Structure 1
Amino acid sequence: MLRPIAHRDFPFYTPKGAIPVGGALRDLLLGRRPQDLDFVAEDPRKAAQDAQSHLGGTLFPLDEERGQYRLVTGGLVLDFSPLEGSLEEDLLKRDFRLNALFWRQNRILGIRGADEDLNRRVLVPVREANLYEDHLRSLRAVRLAASLGLGLPGETRNALSHHARFLQAHLEALPARERVKEELSRLLLSPRAAWGFHLLERTGLLDVYLPELRLLVGLKQGGVHHLDGWQHTLSVLFHLAWLWPEAPLEARLAALYHDVGKPLTRRFDPEAGRFRFLGHAEVGAELTGASLEWLRFPKETVERAKALVRRHMDRPPEGKQALRRFYFRRHHLLPALPYLMAADRLGTKGVEKEAWEVLEAYWETLSEPLPERPLLSGEEVMALLDLKPGPQVGRALEALLLAQAEGRVRTREEARAFLLYWKGDGTNTPA
């Protein structure tokens, strides 16, 4: 039986014959402004065309056979689906009670329990069986909980665990990798990403979607590491977002995967009296690449995450000139690399102060931005050194750019003097 949840306007254009449903209404009730709007209609194509005539934008079919259409306009995404049966029947097929809502005549109505879930700010399935109608729903539950700050009561966690075990036993039921990638990305970019990945592990969904990270759970490290491998990973992910709330996806992926190579490189060192993980950054970079490629992440995202994992153990040198050289040679990883290094140190015990030393040195040293191009062109270098086009010109430009980064060359006159002294074999260029 449907029941009233709230009296309020729907602050978006509603095509004739279309009924707003689902997550947009949930977001409004939670005090959020939605960007994804869902509508049901007896003729979804006609309703979508009506919306396009009023709002503009691009309209395309998601699934013409099923009558599903999408309109993208003005920062909004409007999805239209057919109404099959009554509204109550439609709502009872949805994933969670907080999404089983519709709007009509300035009222939001929902199924039994939706108002209770709203007051408690929790996520509860409409029926546990509904998770099996779209196998992405259990992963989406964790993402919604993390991004919206919703709790998962015991009954929900049990349902997610049951579904995780089903997926492990029926790999053919796994959702398309592109859909999994999208949910994991949105989870990582949420402000409670570390808590969300904790929930993935506790419900068994980590084993389903990221089994390579499951090996970190319970992995004892020793030394400055008071946390096991998985708890440390969650701490690094938390601290990265805390230090750098605008951290992009590749930086967060690197935080999640930075120690994925440790289970394969764990060896006991009798002299040190503890386990060591020599080479884990290199091994971890390759595992990161394989995992993210399998999940269909964009190539550029994969390569940057791999490079960050590979370089996260690099130790910045002392001295302004050396530090500028260090970051210049890793300029394509800035500013993610120093933030990842700092977050890694904050996830330990006893060396936390190094996190602030890394960041303060980075901020101070790069208060003067690194150069983006040499002060002289290739043609000027060839004329100055009497060179023909070839590798020697490239080496000269590279040496000049490095000297600029170190602060040894600041003007075009100094650039000419530097190159006249430069021998071309690197003997006057610090390593």
Structure 2
Amino acid sequence: MSHTAPSPAPHPSLHRLLSDLHRALPPSEDVFLVGGGVRDLLLDRPLKDMDLACRDAEYVALRLARTLDAAFVPLGRDHDPPSFRVVLRDSGRHGTESNQSFLDVTEVHGRDIVEDLGRRDFTVNAMALALRDLSALTNPGPSLIDPYGGLDDLHRGLIRQTGPQTIADDPARILRGFRLRAQLGWALDHATLDEIEKRAPALAKVPAERLTSELRLILECPGGGRLLAEMERAGVLAVLFPELRDMRGCGQNHFHHLDVFHHSLAAVDHCEVLLAELDAVFGELREPILAVLKGWRLPWLKLAVLLHDIGKPGTKAHRSTRENTERITFYGHDALGAAMAESIAVRLRLSTAERKYLTGLIRHHLHVGVLLRPEAKLKARLRWMRRLGPDLIPAILLCLADVRATLGPSSSLQEHQAQEIRGVALIREYLEQTRTTFSVAPLINGHDLLALGLPPGPLLGRILKQLQEAQDAGEITTREEALQMVDQLLPGRATAN
């Protein structure tokens, strides 16, 4: 059915774009704004998506590209229905958000726009507005085409599949449903959730790139990590990460009150709490922390928290103590966990930088935990600051979330609070050291060592590292002292200025 309702007038920043679209197309052209753009317009949210549907989409897209001085990009021969991208050269001028710089124009599928909407995923995305009505900015508002009750679901805050085959036709919509839940804070309706549980195994056949894209969008939302528990109950997490299976029921030592799997979910929850409380916990460090977590670093931090103990089941052992009692150990679980995370990252098609970041957080989480102890020496702290660079900050967040989720009988809330204070201090110290110590040029570099007769190779690298650590710690402050240190590191080798 067509649902006529007064819709909000487009945000003033969209007027120029809508005016240009109106100018580019004749009034008789049946072009519709569809999908998430309609939903966001009705919610008075920033319009991130401009998806248009029409007949003869290629002609319309070419005409829009010429009028808007934009680039025309076909979206592949296999795209069904045929779709074309109009890439704007100046998205800011057209009022869309800075990260949105294109329009997608897609061929109407079926007899008309109503049949086309029936192929879409969820009812709140299965609404359309005629562009000519929207562009005219008429009052009381454009006519909303809403054959599946999307407007009612929007008012109820409900994510509901458009039809009984919605999920079966494209299982990637399972993650899209959770993504909408994360972005909007809405609920999945019971029938849709039942269908998700039924179809979850089919996610294994969805291309990795699509899964990764949706997972990132879920986890980058504030509180998005908390949906991992819901995804677990729906059978989704087990398909995405079958490696988690052995974590379930894997008991831990007396510092823990949960098995490895539920401890990891709890740590993700605590990571979300820390991120929501940046002002309260970290004070003036909030902005530097957010700067480090830009882009994919925020969502993959949450993934690292989920996976940080993934190596524990494979390294679990029982050892006898001097008191003839038995204790549980997980020696090497950080290294094994990093290797397992590497395999997961490859499967998810993460970039080299993303893989290095994810596996590094897991590989080094125990080392960073040691830095949060009161006995940690300055030289050790500086060494790890150099080694991890800005990744030290998310590594500290992971450790603090891990600590908060450790509430066994031998855990001390007082010690937890002390570790948190030391974590904040370590971030502050790192930021200060980057402005001071780490900005100073080395007293001796590789060329100097080569000139002294050292051959290229691992030995030269080790000496440079030791010299840098000594310089950072203030143990050497002049070139002469650095040369003397080389003599000490290489007894019998003559050095000269």
- Give the TM-score range, shorter chain: 0.7 to 0.9
Q: Which moved more, 1:123-132 or 1:64-73?
A: 64-73
SS in 1 for 2:384: helix
The residue aligned with 1:3 is 3
Structure 1, unpaired ranges of 5+: none
Aligned positions of 1:130-279 closer than 5 A:
130-165=166-201, 167=202, 174-244=205-275, 246=290, 247=293, 248=297, 249-269=299-319, 271=321, 273-279=326-332
Contact 2:383 2:469 in 1 (8 A): yes
Letter in structure 1 aligned against 2:474:
G
The residue aligned with 1:35 is 48
CA distance in 1, matches of 2:488, 2:456: 13
Whether 1:51 and 2:64 are equivalent positions in the alignment is yes
What are the Cα deviations for residues 269-314 of structure 1, in whole angstroms up to 9, with x where unaligned? 4545454323221111111111110121112211221121111112
Letter in structure 1 aligned against 2:465:
E
Pick aligned residue for 2:481 from 417, 421, 425:
417
The residue aligned with 1:401 is 468
Whether 1:285 and 2:338 are equivalent positions in the alignment is yes
Whether 1:374 and 2:446 are equivalent positions in the alignment is no
The residue aligned with 1:69 is 84
Letter in structure 2 aligned against 1:109:
I
Letter in structure 1 aligned against 2:453:
L
Alpha-carbon distance, 1:94 to partner: 1.0
Whether 1:305 and 2:358 are equivalent positions in the alignment is yes
Alpha-carbon distance, 1:379 to partner: 4.2
What are the Cα deviations for residues 67-95 of structure 1, in whole angstroms up to 9, with x where unaligned? 21123332323222101221111112211
CA distance in 2, matches of 1:398, 1:379: 14
SS in 2 for 1:296: coil
CA distance in 2, matches of 1:149, 1:204: 21
The residue aligned with 1:341 is 399
The residue aligned with 1:390 is 456
User: CA, structure 1 residues 162+91, in 2 after alignment: closer, same or farther (shift >3 Å)?
Assistant: same
User: CA, structure 1 residues 359+296, in 2 after alignment: closer, same or farther (shift >3 Å)?
Assistant: same
SS in 2 for 1:330: helix
CA distance in 1, matches of 2:327, 2:194: 38
The residue aligned with 2:158 is 122
Contact 1:346 1:355 in 2 (8 A): no
Contact 2:33 2:128 in 1 (8 A): yes
Letter in structure 2 aligned against 1:310:
R
Contact 2:157 2:187 in 1 (8 A): yes
SS in 2 for 1:403: helix
Letter in structure 2 aligned against 1:81:
T
Structure 2, unpaired ranges of 5+: 92-98, 135-141, 277-289, 492-497
Relative to the length of structure 2, the TM-score reads 0.76
Alpha-carbon distance, 1:142 to partner: 1.1
User: CA, structure 1 residues 231+42, in 2 after alignment: closer, same or farther (shift >3 Å)?
Assistant: same
What are the Cα deviations for residues 23-60 of structure 1, in whole angstroms up to 9, with x where unaligned? 11212333321322211011212222233334445432
Letter in structure 1 aligned against 2:7:
H
User: CA, structure 1 residues 371+424, in 2 after alignment: closer, same or farther (shift >3 Å)?
Assistant: farther
Q: Which moved more, 1:137-146 or 1:41-50?
A: 41-50
CA distance in 1, matches of 2:155, 2:463: 67
- Aligned-residue sequence identity (percent) comes to 27
RMSD over aligned Cα atoms: 2.7
Aligned positions of 1:78-117 closer than 5 A:
78-84=103-109, 85-104=111-130, 105-106=133-134, 107=142, 108-117=144-153
Contact 2:123 2:161 in 1 (8 A): yes
Task: Kindly tell me the number of residue pairs found equivalent between the two proteins.
Answer: 417
